[in-house]
Amino acid sequence: MNKSRVEAFVDAIIAIVLTVLILEIKVPEEPSLKLLFGEWQMAFSYLMTFILVMFSWYVQHEMFIAIKWINVGGFIGVCTWLFCLSFLPIATSFVGHFPEYWGAELVYVVTCLIWLFSARFMSYMLRRDNKDVKELDDFSERQAGKFMLISNLVWTLFAIVGLFFIPYVGLLTPLMTVLIQVLSNIIVKRRRATK
């Protein structure tokens, strides 16, 4: 399958998801800055999810530069990732409307974790389809390697326990995912440089 067609499809789905996300921030019924800024929880949850989606789009785009083709397995991986992505607006809206409710925070954290696993699955399937592309092994280790996965699992466990005591801790999951991703890149590059 032509990878540019899949890239265009992914870009379109991400654009739709981001549009649905922003539509959750409501304009007040009357002209009032107090009412407008009263939507800060929804705006904050939007910002966190926006950061996660855009950063992962960047990572996915970098992967697509390296691959040569997409077979059925890779397409299934991409579709799984997009399917999990499509649940982010619901989880974001839920936590944005009820940020101090532990259940909303839990749904948000678990949705982000499932999406992270789907990204790892997509990476695996695309690597399987492109075994002769050696850059993908390095890329995959940096972007979806053991350090990143274990660190995100540790953060998720911390966030799940913490959300019962500290409201909003679950909303920091996208920011932590991006920081862990950056750290993972630095660690893997340094490890390779010392070999």
The label of the residue with tokens 């995100």 reads 152
How does residue 187 score in pLDDT terms, banded at 50, 70 and 90?
confident
Least confident of 8-12, 37-41, 75-79, 154-158: 37-41
User: Residue 98: which of 17, 24, 33 has the closest Cα?
Assistant: 24
Give the model confidence (pLDDT) of 124-160 as tens digits.
Answer: 898 888 888 877 777 776 666 677 788 888 988 999 9
The CB-side HSE value for 184 (13 A sphere, CA atoms) comes to 22
Give the start-to-end residue ranges of the domains of the chain. Answer: 3-194
Tokens of 82: 């997009």
* pLDDT (0 to 100) of residue 144: 63
* pLDDT (0 to 100) of residue 130: 87
User: Residue 48: which of 104, 12, 96 has the closest Cα?
Assistant: 96
Taking CA atoms, 144 is separated from 22, 24, 100, 177, in Å, by 28, 31, 31, 11
* Continuous H helices in 86-166: 88-97, 102-129, 135-144, 146-162
Tokens of 113: 């974790």
pLDDT over 70 percentage in the chain: 96
Least confident of 17-21, 39-43, 86-90: 39-43
* pLDDT (0 to 100) of residue 179: 87
* pLDDT (0 to 100) of residue 108: 93
Give the model confidence (pLDDT) of 72-125 as tens digits.
Answer: 999 999 999 999 999 999 999 999 999 889 999 999 999 999 988 898 899 889
Q: How far apart are the first and last CA of the chain?
A: 37
Secondary structure (3-state) at 43: helix
